[in-house]
Amino acid sequence: MKKRILGNGGLEVSALGLGCMGMTTGTGQRADKADMIKVIHSAVERGVTFFDTAEFYGRWANEELVGEALEPFKGKVVIATKFGFDLENPGPSGAIGLNSRPEHIRKVAEASLKRLRVEAIDLFYQHRVDPLVPIEDVAGAVKDLIQQGKVKHFGLSEAGVQVIRRAHAVQPVTALQNEYSLWWREPEEAIMPTLEELGIGLVTYSPLGKGFLTGTIDEKTKFDSSDFRASVPRLSPEAIKVNLAFVDLLKKVAELKNATPAQIALAWIMSQKPWIVPIPGTTKLNRLEENLGAVDVTLSLADIREIAEALSRLTVEGHRYSESSQKMINR
């Protein structure tokens, strides 16, 4: 497995990580725990050293799963987790709000350490920017945890340029986690130039467009009501009809490269910058194998130019998040 470096602090991880969210939440039915441990172990056996979780995923269940699965590999893998939601105090409708107050960050860190069964959190992200808490206070709280040896690296997720700069001035940011893929390229405008300037890595979630870019979803696909994708505007039947043009492009390139659409989508991301690490999620061993195969797919400069030219003629139909979820993203 090839390796990449995130940030100026020298955090080395596998070129492709594993997003673990779907193993406990978000995609309909919760997968069998024993099966998910097998998937995580298989990832380690194949060279994956970077695993992504959060207390928010399944309300602590995901961290517990990842902690149990990776305990035998302590010190050999990098585990990233997140803080920033107030899970213990949901609103009247059950909605979970933000909470990045320093005292809450410290509390979350202690609990995450226990669930993950580690002595230090490798990478601790702020899950979403909290407009009620100055980012300097957030960065300062994580800086204290780093000085105490409880956290190794600080990260942000879905933060805007000014927030990134202000946080970085207090405590160097190792990585920004952001959605980025062939059909969500907004980070290229201002985010990625800022990261390159400051020496911050980019960890990309939903690199396969929430499964759409694999070519396994079409306008006839029906998502379970408990699957978060049922509320994603760009995955409505009407939007899918338009957006299948992206899949058609991937299929054409994949055929030339003897690869799959998913592998081309991931290889394209990795070809953009050497400090970008995608973290596709899966609950299936065959999909894990397929995704990892992307590391060995080489796209030439000519390939990248041709893809860019084709993308310039395509327009995505629909927003990437529902209106309520979009409110959680601070740009």
**Per the residue annotation, which of 57, 125, 180, 205 is the catalytic one?**
57
Question: Is 205 in the active site?
Answer: no
At 243, list the tokens.
Answer: 């957006």
At 62, list the tokens.
Answer: 């995901």
> How many Cα neighbours within 13 Å face the side chain of 155?
29
Distance CA 294, CA 262 (A): 8
At 292, list the tokens.
Answer: 């990892």
CA dihedral over 203, 208, 209, 210, signed as positive or negative: negative
Q: Among candidates 230, 234, 221, 208, which has minimal Cα distance to 287?
A: 208
Distance CA 264, CA 251 (A): 9
Distance CA 105, CA 124 (A): 10
At 236, list the tokens.
Answer: 């409505």
Q: Residue 212: what are its φ and ψ, rounded to 5°?
A: -65, -40
Which residues does 215 contact at the CB level (< 8 Å), separation at least 6?
247, 250, 251, 260, 261, 262
Distance CA 28, CA 115 (A): 24
At 304, list the tokens.
Answer: 């990248």
Identify the burial level of 309 via C-beta atoms within 10 angstroms of its C-beta, where 0-12 means exposed, 13-18 middle and 19 or more buried: exposed
Distance CA 294, CA 313 (A): 25
CA dihedral over 12, 135, 104, 144, signed as positive or negative: positive
Distance CA 252, CA 245 (A): 11
Range list of β-strands (E), the chain: 3-6, 11-14, 18-19, 50-52, 78-83, 121-126, 151-157, 173-179, 201-205, 276-278
Residues carrying an active site annotation? 57
